[in-house]
Amino acid sequence: MGYTDQRFDVNLSILFTELPLLERPAAAAAAGFTAVELWWPWIDTPTPAKEELDALRHALQDAGTQLVGLNFYAGRLPGPDRGAVSVPGEESERFRANIDVAADFAASVGCKALNALYGNRVEGVDPAAQDELALENLATAARAAHRVGAVLLIETLNQPESPLYPLVSAPAAIDVVDRVNAATGLANAKFLLDLYHLAMNGEDLSEVIEKYAAKTGHVQIADKPGRGAPGTGELPLEDLLDQLRKAGYQGFVGLEYKAEDAAASFGWLPAEARAAR
Domain CATH for 181: 3.20.20.150
Beta carbons within 8 Å of 214's beta carbon, 6+ residues apart? 247, 248
Q: What is d(CA 154, CA 179) in angstroms, rounded to the nearest whole number?
A: 11
Domain containing 162 equals 3-273
pLDDT tens sequence across 124-144: 999 999 999 999 999 999 999
Give the pLDDT score at 1. Answer: 55
Q: What is d(CA 91, CA 119) in angstroms, rounded to the nearest whole number?
A: 9
Beta carbons within 8 Å of 153's beta carbon, 6+ residues apart? 69, 113, 114, 115, 116, 189, 190, 191, 192, 217, 218
Check: pTM over 0.75? Answer yes or no: yes
Other C-beta atoms lying within 10 Å of the C-beta of residue 77 = 18
Catalytic residues: 155, 256
Q: What is d(CA 193, CA 218) in angstroms, rounded to the nearest whole number?
A: 6
3 state SS of 209: helix
Give the pLDDT score at 244. Answer: 97
Q: Per 3-state DSSP, what percentage of the chain is helix, strand, and coil (rounded to 5)?
A: 40, 15, 45
Q: Which of 14-28, 51-65, 70-84, 91-105 has the least mean pLDDT?
A: 70-84
Q: What is d(CA 219, CA 195) in angstroms, rounded to the nearest whole number?
A: 8
Is the confidence at residue 155, as pLDDT, over 70? yes
Q: What is d(CA 56, CA 42) in angstroms, rounded to the nearest whole number?
A: 11
Give the pLDDT score at 80. Answer: 79
Q: Provide mean pLDDT across the span 222-239.
A: 98
pLDDT tens sequence across 176-211: 999 999 999 999 999 999 999 999 999 999 999 999
More confident residue, 218 or 273: 218
Q: What is the largest CA-CA distance in the chain?
A: 52
Pairing of strands 113-115, 216-221: unpaired
Give the pLDDT score at 4. Answer: 87
Average pLDDT along the chain: 96
Report the candidate in 216, 222, 232, 225 with the shortest Cα–Cα distance to residue 256.
Answer: 222
Is the confidence at residue 276, as pLDDT, over 90? no
Give the pLDDT score at 77. Answer: 74
pLDDT band (50, 70, 90) for residue 106: very high
Q: What is the count of structural domains for the chain? A: 1
Contact 65, 107 (CB under 8 A): no
Q: Which residues of 49-65 are buried (b: 16+ CB within 10 A; e: fewer)?
A: eeeebeebeebbeebeb
Cβ-based burial of 260 (10 A; exposed 0-12, middle 13-18, buried ≥19): exposed
Contact 4, 249 (CB under 8 A): no
Q: Provide mean pLDDT across the span 115-131.
A: 97
